[in-house]
Amino acid sequence: MSQLTDSTTPSTSSPANAEDAPTESSVTPAVDVAALGEQLMGNWAGIRRTARALAAQPAIKRIEGQTLTEHRARTMEQLHTLVAEKAVHRAFPKSVGGEENHGGNIAGFEELVLADPSLQIKSGVQWGLFGAAVMHLGTERHHEKYLPGIMNLEIPGAFAMTETGHGSDVAAVGTTATFDSHTGDFVLNTPFRAAWKDYLGNAAVDGRAAVVFAQLITQGVNHGVHAFFVPIRDEEGFLPGIGGEDDGLKGGLNGIDNGRLHFTDVRIPREDLLNRYGDVAEDGTYTSPIESPGRRFFTMLGTLVQGRVSLDGAAVVASKLALTIALTYGSERRQFTAGSESNEEVILDYQRHQRRLLPRLATTYAMSFAHEVFLAKFDDVFSGAHDTDADRQDLETIAAALKPLSTWAALDILQEAREACGGQGFLVENRLTSLRADLDIYATFEGDNNVLLQLVAKRLLTDYSRKFAHAGPGVMAQFVVDQVNEAAINRTGLRGLVQSMRDFGSTARSVGYIRDEDSQRQLLTDRVQTMVAEIAGRLRPASKLSKIDAAALFNAHQNALIEAARAHGELLQWEAFTDGVNAVQDAGTKQVLTWLRDLFGLSLIEKNAAWYLIHGRISGQRAQAITSYIDDRLLPRLRVHALDLVAAFEFMPEHIGAPIALGAEKARQDEARDYYRAQRDAGTAPVEEKNIDKGKRT
Work out the number of other CB atoms within 10 angstroms of the CB of residue 165: 15
The yes-or-no verdict on residue 169 having pLDDT over 90 is no
Q: What is the pLDDT of residue 71?
A: 98
**Does 245 map to a domain?**
yes
Average pLDDT in the 17-21 region?
36
> Same structural domain for residues 266 and 358?
no
Q: What is the pLDDT of residue 468?
A: 53
Q: Kindly indicate the confidence band of residue 337, based on its pLDDT and cuts at 50, 70 and 90.
A: confident
The yes-or-no verdict on residue 417 having pLDDT over 60 is yes
Q: What is the pLDDT of residue 471?
A: 45
Question: CB-based burial of residue 345 (10 Å sphere; 0-12 exposed, 13-18 middle, 19+ buried)?
Answer: middle
Looking at 137, 157, 177, which one is the last position of a domain? 157
Q: What is the pLDDT of residue 532?
A: 93
**Does 536 map to a domain?**
yes
Q: What is the pLDDT of residue 135?
A: 97
> Same structural domain for residues 448 and 561?
yes
Work out the number of other CB atoms within 10 angstroms of the CB of residue 556: 11
Average pLDDT in the 265-282 region?
97
The yes-or-no verdict on residue 682 having pLDDT over 60 is yes
Of the candidates 118, 131, 25, 106, the residue with the CA atom closest to the CA atom of residue 73: 118
> Same structural domain for residues 400 and 322?
yes
Q: What is the pLDDT of residue 2?
A: 37
Which has more pLDDT, 546 or 487? 546
> Same structural domain for residues 556 and 598?
yes
> Same structural domain for residues 401 and 536?
yes
CATH code, 255: 2.40.110.10
Q: What is the pLDDT of residue 696?
A: 53
Q: Kindly indicate the confidence band of residue 343, based on its pLDDT and cuts at 50, 70 and 90.
A: confident
Q: Which residues pair with 229 in a beta bridge?
A: 211
Which residues are known to be catalytic? 446
The yes-or-no verdict on residue 10 having pLDDT over 60 is no
The DSSP annotation for 671-688 comes to HHHHHHHHHHHHT-PPPP
d(CA 551, CA 184): 41
**Does 261 map to a domain?**
yes
Average pLDDT in the 603-627 region?
91
> Same structural domain for residues 146 and 168?
no
> Same structural domain for residues 198 and 228?
yes
Q: Kindly indicate the confidence band of residue 569, based on its pLDDT and cuts at 50, 70 and 90.
A: very high
% residues pLDDT > 70 (the chain): 88
For residue 59, give its domain range: 43-157
Work out the number of other CB atoms within 10 angstroms of the CB of residue 215: 18
Q: What is the pLDDT of residue 472?
A: 45
% residues pLDDT > 90 (the chain): 74
CATH code, 124: 1.10.540.10
The yes-or-no verdict on residue 520 having pLDDT over 50 is yes
Of the candidates 82, 80, 54, 275, the residue with the CA atom closest to the CA atom of residue 186: 275
Handedness of CA 232, 238, 241, 243 (dihedral sign): positive
**CB-facing half-sphere around the CA of 40: CA atoms within 13 A:** 25
The yes-or-no verdict on residue 498 having pLDDT over 70 is no
d(CA 43, CA 695): 74
**Does 30 map to a domain?**
no
**Does 219 map to a domain?**
yes
Mean pLDDT across the chain:
88
> Same structural domain for residues 104 and 121?
yes
Q: What is the pLDDT of residue 6?
A: 35
d(CA 146, CA 211): 11
Work out the number of other CB atoms within 10 angstroms of the CB of residue 655: 20
Looking at 93, 122, 157, which one is the last position of a domain? 157
Q: What is the pLDDT of residue 35?
A: 97
Which has more pLDDT, 572 or 485? 572
Pairing type for strands 176-180 and 185-189 reads antiparallel
**Does 693 map to a domain?**
no
> Same structural domain for residues 408 and 351?
yes
Q: What is the pLDDT of residue 688?
A: 82
| 55 sits in which H/E element | helix 45-55
Average pLDDT in the 264-274 region?
98
Cβ atoms 225, 171 nearer than 8 A? yes
Q: Which of 181-195, 290-304, 427-441, 684-698 has the lowest mean pLDDT?
A: 684-698
The yes-or-no verdict on residue 619 having pLDDT over 90 is no
Looking at 139, 157, 175, which one is the last position of a domain? 157
The yes-or-no verdict on residue 23 having pLDDT over 50 is no
- Cα–Cα distances in angstroms (integers) from residue 364 to residues 409, 550, 594, in the given order: 8, 39, 14
Cβ atoms 380, 386 nearer than 8 A? yes
Q: Which of 17-21, 125-129, 301-305, 691-695 has the lowest mean pLDDT?
A: 17-21
The yes-or-no verdict on residue 286 having pLDDT over 60 is yes
Q: Kindly indicate the confidence band of residue 479, based on its pLDDT and cuts at 50, 70 and 90.
A: very low
Which has more pLDDT, 559 or 5? 559
> Same structural domain for residues 289 and 312?
no
d(CA 583, CA 664): 37
Q: What is the pLDDT of residues 378-398, one digit of tens each?
A: 999 999 999 888 899 999 999
> Same structural domain for residues 597 and 480?
yes
CATH code, 646: 1.20.140.10
> Same structural domain for residues 370 and 446?
yes
Q: Kindly indicate the confidence band of residue 302, based on its pLDDT and cuts at 50, 70 and 90.
A: confident
Q: What is the pLDDT of residue 338?
A: 65
Q: What is the pLDDT of residue 18?
A: 35
The single-letter DSSP state of residue 268 is E
Domain count, the chain: 3
| 231 sits in which H/E element | strand 221-231
**Does 674 map to a domain?**
no
**Does 199 map to a domain?**
yes
